[in-house]
Amino acid sequence: MGTGPAGRIYDEFSQLIGNTPLLELHRYRKNRDLPGRLVAKIEYFNPAGSVKDRIAWAIIKDAEETGRLKPGDTIVDVTSGNTGIALAAIAASRGYRAKFYASDNISPDKIRILDLFGVEVVPVRNEFFLDPEALEKITNRIREENPDAYFTDQLANPVNPQAHFDNTGPEIWRDTNGEVDFLVAGVGTGGTISGAGKFLKSKKPDVKVVVAEPAEGSLPTEENPYPDEIDGVHKVSEIDPQLLPGNYDGSVVDEIIALETADARRTVRALASEEGVFVGTSSGATLWAATQIASRPENAGKTIVVVLPDTGERYLTLPSDHRG
Ligand SMILES: Cc1ncc(COP(=O)(O)O)c(C=O)c1O
């Protein structure tokens, strides 16, 4: 269980991670007459601003404890920004250097934050990820180009889902007093859904786990490699299981809801103006999917916990029609 920031002077950055709050979205629900209860887990309360602080710390701690990471070493990974920022912040607090491979379509704000942390960013053209073997290829490239660095491998490192099994899931269980019927999240690496979903099902087998994924119009293609995308989340339905991230465990997933980026952005605006909570695009996506679940009459009175991974402030320099 994360130690969480409250009530004392903390000794180090990593102690501030986790124990993020749950907020019931009363006004948002009332405005739409939704039969189900919506409860948001607001991950921007983490000290480096996203859900990824959890896995970054778990992975670094594991590497330190097993002697694979020593002061002065360099950390490398492929990231759409948040994992890089989380790793960079923890690296700074513990004396490591960092280098990240990132798709060249990620939010300029994230690149600026990485730069501010002194990180070396290697841009990868977005088309590269159209290759069905992209994940394997980029993993091999990172290992080849950085033989002496510690590759955190968020896509397949089992410490990632384990951090959500040990922290995110138990926090939701504790803070809802076990009154949780649905968990809704997106899939970047699959860590959140696989770890927290598995934990909640171990406590209450009829908890339903729902994934929000980008629909066709929000995915890159050969003709349009730079569409307006939902930063950080990927399509998981109708994908060859071998090509999914190693940390995505489809067996815990009960339903997948697809949506376009424009719907995610509208939901970001709605949440900001109706509840005062300003989140990133992937949070708009998870809340949009959670809203579909909450609107079903059979879900009257059910509690739907929706994970909101990061803050909208991380996307402010996108062109204005691409913001929340
Ligand atoms: C903005 C954002 N939302 C959602 C996710 C999904 O989280 P996970 O990697 O646990 O599947 C990520 C991860 O890459 C992300 O950066």
Q: What is the distance between the alpha carbons of residues 191 and 246, in angstroms, rounded to a whole number?
A: 9
Could you state, in order of their start, the residue ranges of all structural domains in the chain? 13-48+158-322, 52-151
Band (305; pLDDT cuts 50, 70, 90): very high
Ligand 1 centroid to Cα of residue 8, in Å, is: 30
| CATH topology match: 13-48+158-322 vs 52-151 | yes
- Whole-number pLDDT of residue 320: 60
The residue to mutate among 80, 107, 113, having the most atoms of ligand 1 within 8 angstroms of its beta carbon, is: 80
Handedness of CA 209, 257, 153, 239 (dihedral sign): positive
Ligand 1 centroid to Cα of residue 286, in Å, is: 11
13-48+158-322 in CATH: which number? 3.40.50.1100
221 pLDDT more than 80? yes
3 pLDDT more than 70? no
Q: What is the distance between the alpha carbons of residues 223 and 239, in angstroms, rounded to a whole number?
A: 20
Catalogue the active-site residues: 52, 282
- Whole-number pLDDT of residue 1: 57
- Whole-number pLDDT of residue 25: 98
Kindly report, residue by residue over 108-133, the tens digit of the pLDDT.
Answer: 999 999 999 999 999 999 889 888 88
Say whether domain 52-151 belongs to CATH 3.30.460.80: no
- Whole-number pLDDT of residue 50: 98
Q: Hey, how many other C-beta atoms are within 10 angstroms of the C-beta on 241?
A: 8
- Whole-number pLDDT of residue 257: 98
Ligand 1 centroid to Cα of residue 316, in Å, is: 18
Kindly report, residue by residue over 82-102, the tens digit of the pLDDT.
Answer: 999 999 999 999 999 999 999
- Whole-number pLDDT of residue 313: 95
Q: At what angle do helices 52-65 and 82-94 cross, to 10 degrees?
A: 40
Q: pTM higher than 0.75, yes or no?
A: yes
Average pLDDT, the chain: 94
19-28, 200-209, 216-225, 288-297: which has the minimum mean pLDDT?
216-225
- Whole-number pLDDT of residue 2: 57
Nearest-CA residue for ligand 1 atom 7 is 188
137 pLDDT more than 80? yes
Cα separation of the two ends of the chain: 32
322 pLDDT more than 70? no
Ligand 1 centroid to Cα of residue 179, in Å, is: 25
The answer, yes or no, to whether any atom of ligand 1 lies below 6 A from the CB of 220, is no
Index of the ligand 1 atom closest to the CA of residue 280? 1
The answer, yes or no, to whether any atom of ligand 1 lies below 6 A from the CB of 280, is yes
Kindly report, residue by residue over 71-87, the tens digit of the pLDDT.
Answer: 889 999 998 789 999 99
